[in-house]
């Protein structure tokens, strides 16, 4: 296993200090969902746990091997057919806060949409508190370029000492048009520039989705709605380029399904959940394109302590 010196805000794996809970409406199902995020031991990763199904079939690792659908959102499905949909905003919050290990319990098949951004989940994580663990972060380093294409959509990864995203979108609407953003992803950049950007859709598409049985929980409280060349929401946008910022948010969440932080440069043009999944599969299908590395303890830095009893007591 190779080693790197400092390519993230934290050298150490991180988890939650305590558990935290929230409730909300699922975007597509339109039903109330209760969600709890709990601490987890080092090297256990992110795990989704359905509490409304038998305990022996309800666990779903947050990994691209378990991606089952990418239409409208990212859905994870385990070997028993148990699924958790719309994971991307929560995964983005976990990535942006550099949480390596956590158990997310929920009593339904879809993560609550909250306000359509990752900010409520960042707040939930901060309420729980963050602890460093006496284990180095495990990261996936991109060793050579990998590219996937479909029509005029392109997504690629190339070597980079860190994680950066360059993304371009183009919509036939005066409210959106062409937008681009380049970002070196860090905790501070995510919280300042990305996490408040909300999901969005066109009014006619939302109406069609509702007729098809989707977006039953969608409203102006949890999405930016565009009608022609106008934003319908009374409060307008949170950022002048909120649309591309939310696409970056989605990308951060999808890329965290690599199973750990990526060390690479992502470039996307009109990319979405399906392209992100294809890109991760293309990366891992080529053994020479990636390797696993770990953070190294800097000289003179003492290791933090990890109290498993405290985790057991708080979960």
* Number of Cβ atoms within 10 Å of the Cβ of 31: 14
The owner of tokens 């990212």 is: 74
How far does CA 154 lie from the centroid of its chain?
20
Q: How far apart are CA 66 and CA 76, in angstroms?
A: 5
Q: Which residues contact 305 (CB under 8 A, 6 or more apart)?
A: 134
Extract the tokens encoding 257.
Answer: 């399904």
The residue annotated as part of the active site, out of 28, 38, 89, 273, is 273
Rg (CA), the chain: 19
Extract the tokens encoding 154.
Answer: 């392109």
Q: How far apart are CA 51 and CA 21, in angstroms?
A: 14
Question: Does residue 276 carry a catalytic annotation?
Answer: no
Extract the tokens encoding 32.
Answer: 């109330």
**CA distances, 179 to each of 132, 176, 246, 295 (Å):** 37, 7, 11, 35
Extract the tokens encoding 313.
Answer: 């007591």
Which residues are catalytic, by number? 273
């Amino acid at each position: 296993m190779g080693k790197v010196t400092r390519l993230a805000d934290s050298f150490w794996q991180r988890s939650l200090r305590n558990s935290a809970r929230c409730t909300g409406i699922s975007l597509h199902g339109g039903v109330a969902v209760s969600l709890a995020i709990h601490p987890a031991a080092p090297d256990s990763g992110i795990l989704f746990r359905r509490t409304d199904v038998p305990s022996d079939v309800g666990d779903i690792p947050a990994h691209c091997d378990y991606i089952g659908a990418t239409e409208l959102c990212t859905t994870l499905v385990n070997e028993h057919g148990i699924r958790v949909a719309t994971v991307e905003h929560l995964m983005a919050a976990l990535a942006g806060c550099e949480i390596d290990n956590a158990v997310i319990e929920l009593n339904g098949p879809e993560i609550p949409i909250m306000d359509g951004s990752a900010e409520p989940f960042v707040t939930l994580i901060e309420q729980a508190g963050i602890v460093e663990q006496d284990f180095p972060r495990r990261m996936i380093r991109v060793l050579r370029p990998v590219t996937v294409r479909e029509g005029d959509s392109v997504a690629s990864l190339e070597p980079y000492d860190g994680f950066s995203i360059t993304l371009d979108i183009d919509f036939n609407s005066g409210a959106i048009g062409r937008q681009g953003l380049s970002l070196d992803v860090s905790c501070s950049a995510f919280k300042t520039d990305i996490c408040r950007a909300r999901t969005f859709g066109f009014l006619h598409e939302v109406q069609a989705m509702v007729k098809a049985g989707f977006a039953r929980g969608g409203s102006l409280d949890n999405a930016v709605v565009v009608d022609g060349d106008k934003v319908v929401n009374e409060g307008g946008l949170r950022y002048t380029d909120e649309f591309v910022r939310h696409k970056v948010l989605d990308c951060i969440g999808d890329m965290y399904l690599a199973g750990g932080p990526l060390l690479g440069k992502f470039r996307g043009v009109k990319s979405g959940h399906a392209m992100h999944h294809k890109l991760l599969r293309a990366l891992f299908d080529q053994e020479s394109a990636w390797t696993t590395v770990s953070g190294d303890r800097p000289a003179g830095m003492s290791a933090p302590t990890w109290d498993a009893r405290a985790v057991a007591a708080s979960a």
